[in-house]
Structure formats: structure tokens, C-alpha cells
Structure 1
């Protein structure tokens, strides 16, 4: 009995030691995240991501630490956090004394309704009833901003004032509100200031929440920043994640790889390689807010104050300061050049990898389609040719012979389309150009679309010279024309115009204009993105394949919307202008 009790105690002791060793191996990591709109908003935005992150390691836990901009520098210097998530530009003007290892930059967000804590930029707002129309008119005014070292909440707007020859405390006064950043626009709304430098998208977000009425405000110095939010400056790289020195290299490396690989879950933020801060450093250098510049001028001020009675030493200090400034500027320039080169190499490698991956996938698709389709197509052709031969020989049902000719012609078309797809995937150059009568090629494509889609009729007007002949590849032209017309039909277009467009370059365009609503701004900004479609049964490859086919024959595909007040799309097939020397005297392929 004593022996059994002793064995039982030993088992309990071993279990306790195992549990205790597991507790010792567990590690908690604190992630400091800027909270420009308050702690609650930061928790709602980032806590799901940290919860997911904690599930990726068995004994690692990631805790959210919302940071105020005023306290962030000291928290980092005191090592109260292990990771930092914030705009990379924000930390270029801080003197934390801590080396940060940047792991990844945010790349995926909801561009339809972006938030002020997602995009990095500035908007300078005034009230509409103020009569202010330009940045230069802010002379003598009071301006609200977030904080003196806030990049989007002050420094970018400060550069606009600086470029307008307005100087702080001399030409205007500032009121810094701190976090939450909403106070900048609230002060302007209450007419307590004359203008406000607000982070990008803050006005739109507060408008959607019913906090302010955006119709009462006016934007100064509007620019196209390629976002849905009105802004006064360009858009800068998104927020980035950095590891502090106390984080092991193995964990930092694995975390960076995990973020870059996890792109499938749309509910989690997307990540890309760290974006270089070259443009940010240029702006800080321009407005004399670069950390290197600040350290130089602070040293000059201390030296002048200490030796103000010594003229000789003052002159020496001026010379030393000039040399020091030149040296630091050269270091900054060299660093900027190195970062730019590294960034370009990284982007080139990324593009090569994406291109190779896409070509591999589409190459497999093309091979699979060719393998699966060629055999039944060949059988169809043999049956059609055999039937046609028998009818000709027996002189019976001769009215079916033209129908069989059409079948054989369409089989040839299918074979050529498969060949074009294979060449598209392998980037093969197709130089088999022949004289093509453009009007006949267009008419043939229109006839094919009408035969296939007679349930919804489109009124198609063709305005193309009947004798226009170009040296090109007829199968490519017909395939792209048919695809474009099918898109018009699928979008329920009722009116389609087809005409010729001239370019300053040696190109000629076939323009297809419809009245089916047109393209979205995202489709125009990024027109040929694979697998993006708004059709229930579509794969999102039609426009991509057509654009690549046009480039294979030396042309291009242009997308635009109508500018005559009618909601509709304009698709232009851009063809090399290689007219046949005697277009009327040569039989052209159609």
C-alpha cells in the first residue's frame, strides 16, 4: 500500500513539473498601437487581429497596448512594449534611441470606407462661410492640429504652409489638440479656430458617424491622392509593424513571414514588404524637421550659448557646424540612395515572383484547356467534314452544306482561340500578320454575337471605312471584339457605337462605346487585375486575356468612361498602324 502511494505521489509531482515548465516557457508580448481616435476604437480595430496572432503560437500571447502620440516616444524608450504598429513616417521625427526592425507594411483595407487611422495623409479644412479659398489666405489665422510631431495630423499640413511662405508664430498661430484627433474638426465646427489640419479621411468618418456635417466645410489645396477621401496632400505608405531589440530574431523573422504569407482571410489585415521612407525623409528635410537636422541645430545652439563672448570660437563653431551639416546631409543622401536601391530591387523581385506565379497558373490552365478541348473539337470537325463530303457526293440536302461550312469555320475559331491562350500564357510573340479588312472583321464579330445572343438585342452602329486594311492577326482582333461586345451584352447595353479613333503615335484604334453604366473608378485605376469580376459565373480573366493578346500583336487595350453625360463604357483596341501598301488590290482576311 505504501509503495502504491509513493508511485502516485511521483506521478503527481511529474505532472506538476510539466505544467510548471509549460508556464515558464509561455511568453507575453506587448504590442503598442497608436490610438488616434481613442482606446475603444483601437481595441475594436486591432484586438481581433491580436487574438488571431496569439493562436499561431502555442505559448506566445500578444497583448494590445493603445498608445497616445505624446507618450509613444517614452514608452518605446522605456521598453514598455515589444512591438510597435504605427505609420513608419511617424517615428522618423522621434528620438527614441531604440533600433526598430520593421517587419511588414499594411496593404489591404476597405478602400470603400477607409478610416482616419488607416491612410496616411493630411486635409486642411476651413468653414465654407469663412470665405477662405487658398492656403496663403491663412496668414494671421489660428489653425488646429493634432500634435507637433504628428505626421498626418500636422507635419504634412505644415509643409503646405511652409511652401506658401507662411511661418509658425510669425504668420499664424497653432492650437494642438492631442488625441483623440476628432478635436481638430470639432474646434473648427465650433468656430474656435479658423482652420484645421486633420488626418486624411477623418472628415468622411465623422460625417458617416453623424458627428459633423461635411457640407459646412471646404477643403483647401485639394489634390488627387488616389483614395475616396478628400485630401490636401499625397498619400503615404500605410502603417507598419516593427519589433524592438528585446524580441528574439527567430520570433521576429517568423512573425514577418507569417504576416506576408497570410493573405487569404479578408477579415484580417493584409500585409506587404516594408515600404521605403524615402519620400518622408525628403519632406522632413524640406521643412527642417529631420532628426539629423534637429541634432545639428541643437548642438549649434548649445555651443553658441556657451561661448557667446568668444568671437574666435564662435567663428570656429560656425565653420564646424557647416562641415557637420554637410557631413550629415551627405550621410542622409547616401542612406536615401541605398534605401531607394534596395526598395527598387525588392519591388522588382516581387513583380518577378508575381509574374512567374501567374504565368505558371495560367500556363497550367491553358495546357489543361487545350488537352481537354482539342479532342472533342477534332471529332466535331471530322463529323462535320464527313457529313459535308457525303452530302456533296450524294447531292442530297444541299441546303445544309453552308451550315456545315459555318460549323467548320467556328471549329477553326475555337482552335485558334486555344492557340492564342497558350501563346498568351507563354508570352510568345505572334508575328503572323496578314492584311485584314477592319470593317469586315468588325461585321463578322457583330454577326457572331447577334447569333449567340438574340434574346437581348443591342442596337449596334458601325462607322468604319469599308476599305480600311491593316496588317494584323485576324483571330486576335475578332476574339477581342467578340469579348468586348459580349461584355456590352452582359451589362444590358441597348446602344453600341463602333468607330475608328486616331492617335498621335503610329496607332489606330477601334472604339466600342456603350450605354451600360461604365466602369468603376477601381476598375479604371487597376484595369487588368486577374480573377476580379462582378459576374456571378465569371472568372475575371476576360479583360486580362484580351489586354495581353493585344500586347502580343504590338497593340494595347484602353478602358475609359463616356464624357458626354451618358453613363457608359469606352473600350479601345489600339492597333499598330501598319497599312497594307495596296489595300484595295489585295484580298484581305476578315
Structure 2
């Protein structure tokens, strides 16, 4: 055997090394590409790993009862969110507060006061529990004051000096609500021997039953539930301050019920899904949770009891000092402006007070002047009454005297009887004058009402026509139909007086001139549109020779009663009534006689 030496070519060796290096790079790059492709799946798988949430329940009747009560809600959450786990922790109020402060809970189910007092833990109310007794969340919590039925206590005022048991000083449905009602009845807690027994509530009921407590403050429906569970007899107890009938005996009004709240910063999508799940949850055909309710009444109750977190200050002294240093010129100007405004306001107040006193003095002076003016008007009215009455009664009295003297001289019984008939007529005429005068002086005008003025004129013409025919006086009418809003009796009296005066003038004219052919023309028309007020104009004309210019001047100047001498009570009354109706009566002489113009405006 020969010894052969096998030597490798260096070039070959280098080629082999380069080949393996390149092959290794390919393998490594492919591994990295596979790893990057699988990384999202790995992340998704890690995110899909079940997350555990701690749910704290306030166990008012002990852990076993709380587990049975809230087991359906926990089962719903675990079933609906299978990728998460919801674990229930049933705690007393003190344990629940400690767990919240140590951030050991993700959700909490508690009463409204506990919810309000823990706003510092960033609680977010998701839904409100629908109580099985009241079927609602807005009004489902109340408190009841119970005593043993064999005790002589029947009124809350008898509680002073007795031992009163409650579960906790911040228990909403038990202590706070009942204590508030006692305070409103002027029963102070310092007058009672209040003792807080702690949870569970069942122990408080048993202490009352065994006589360890005189009175117990319990949530409404608790005693009824224990009686239905066979733990006691409800007839062994008596409630005080019983409110109106409801499913459970209660001593207070109803307040909002329990809530399901989240703690801290939990993802918004999860909170929304949990809320939807709770709102749609039904058990035995009855909804278990409803929309969250407002807590205005609970907040007011806490304010009355001075509970709740202290309000944070709006600003620190350092920030306030810095602000003053930076803006002191503006602040000084504002303060100066404010002081100037206050000084000006004070000056205005002083001047106003002074002007007020002056106005009061002027007011008293005006009242005195008005009283003096009223007395002067009364005296003027009395003068008008006396003057008019004396003048108007003078005619019938003179006629009575003449007829009486003629009757004494007559021997014929027929003429004698006629004279006495004229005396009776003149007597009735005088009585009519007095009645008309008294009506004008004493009676108030009636209310304004719409009426047909043309119809009124027609009625008056029909009324005076017999007398006009006897005097051979022709009556002419030119009437525009229309409605007037005024006082019809007053208008009727004015027109009647004017027509009667015209006939009287014709009668006097006939005595002077027997061949006189008289006429009276009545014209009724509506006021022109350019007048300030709507109304009517009525003109009564005659050819009886006119009247004295002094009477016309007297009416135009509205003079006192002494200037009405010779006018007669009829014309005086007509003028006064026209003024009271906010109208105007004017007289003027024409070529043949007299024209009376009456302007009547619509009443307001």
C-alpha cells in the first residue's frame, strides 16, 4: 500500500464556505419572514386570553344572601362575555370602601349614597337596578322605623331616650332616610341612644326581636322578605311614621335605587356592551336593570347631612397673587370705576329720596286742591240746580195760578171742570220737571251700548207728532242709518229736550203771529273721515224766530249756573249731558230761526 496524500484545493474550500454562508442567509431571512407573518396572530392570541374583572357587591344581608341575589347578573356577564371572567366579591360597606381605595375592584354594585360618596374613585354609573317589589329604579329605596308590637311606643316622639339600632352611619336605605324624617319632626339624634350594629342586616332584626334594641332602622321590604323566608312573623313588629300605601311598609319617601358602576378607566366599547347586556337582561319575564336615574334628591340629602367629599378650591393664593401682580393697573381702574359707580348710585338714591318727599308733598297739595275743586263744583251744581229749577217751575206755577183764578170766576160747570183739568196738567208738568231734574242730578249714566241713532230719531218724531200737528208744524227728516256706541237714554233726553224747545218756540211764535207756518227739520249724518274720532252729527233747525244771543254765548263758554238764566232746565240738562258724553252741543241763529248742532262721538 502506497502512502497517498490528499490535499484540498484552497479555491475549492473558499467556494464551499461561500456557498454555505449564502445558504445560511437564505434560511435566516426566510425564518424572519415567517416570524413577522406569525407575529400578529401571536398578538391576537395573547389579546384573546381571558381577562378577569373584579365586581364588588355591597352585601347588606351577608355574603350568602348577596351571592344568591346577584348570581344571575354575574352569570349573565360571564355568559355574554366568554372571553372575560367576572368574579364577584361580596363585602360590607367598610370592606367595599377599602377595596375601592386600594383599586382592587373593576365594577361595583351599591346604593346611591355609596355611589355619590365615592366619586373620587372615578365611578361611572352604567345602569340602575329594578327592585322586585317596586318594579322601578327611580323610586325603590326607603327606610322603615320598626318596634316590637308589644312595646308601648306608638309615636316617633316617644323615641327620646330609647336605644335605636342602625346598620351603619352612612347606610342610605336604613339610617340616613329615617334620620332625616326624624329631624324634620324636631327629633334630634342626640336625644336618642343610636347604636350601629354593622352588617348583616338580619342581625339587627334579631336584636330587635330579642329585646336588645328598642327600635330598629331598616330598609323597607327587609322585614317582609324575612317573613316570607320564614325567619320571623311580621305581626310581631309595628312600624312608625307609616307613609302612604305601597308594596312594603315604609316610614320615608321613596328614593332612587341601586346602581351598577364601573371603576377607573375601562375601555368604552366594553362598558357600552356591558350596559346593553344589563338593560336587555330579563329573569322570569321581568327586567332586572334599567337606565340610570338622576340623583338630585340624594345629593340634596347629602348636603343636608354635610356628607360627601370636600369641594376643591377654585384657585390657589399663589395664582391669585400672580394674577394681581400682572394686572394690578386694570384692577385698580376697575375698583376706582366701581367706587365711582357706588358714589353716583348713592347720590342718585339721595336725590331720589328728596324728590320722592317733594312729590309726596305735591301730591297732598293736589289732593287738597282737588277736594276744594270738588266742593266748588258741588256748590256750582247746587246753583245750577236751584236756578234751573226755579226758572222751569215758574211756568207751571204761573199757569196754575191763572187757571185757579179763572176757575173762581166761572159759573159754567163745564168750564169750571176744564180749568181744574188744566191745573192738574200743570201740576203733573211740574212734577215731571222735578223728576227729570232729580234724575239728571243724582243718577249715574248707564254703560255704553250700540244702537241705531236713526231709529231713535224716528221714535222721538212719532212721540211729538201729535203736538206738532196741533200747532200745524211740519216735521222733515233726513236720516243716515248707522250704529252708534254711546248711552242711549242720555242721547234720547238731549234730543227730546231740543225738539220740545223747538215746539215751545213755535207755540210762542203762534201767540204773536197766528198765521205762522212752522217747520222743524232733523238732519242726521256721520262725521267726516278726517275727524279724530268716529261719531255722528245731528242738526235740529226751526223757523221759530231764533233765541237770545246771550244764551248762545253762555253755552259756548260753559259759564256757571248764574249765566243760564232764561234757558230752562231742559237746555241746561242737554248741555251738561253732551259734555258728560264727551260731545258738544252748540246753538246758532239762522235767518228764520234756530239751529241746534249736536256732535256725538263713539264712546271708548
| Greater fraction of residues in helix | 2
Provide TM-score, normalisation by structure 1. 0.43
Q: Which has the larger radius of gyration?
A: 2
TM-score (norm 2): 0.42
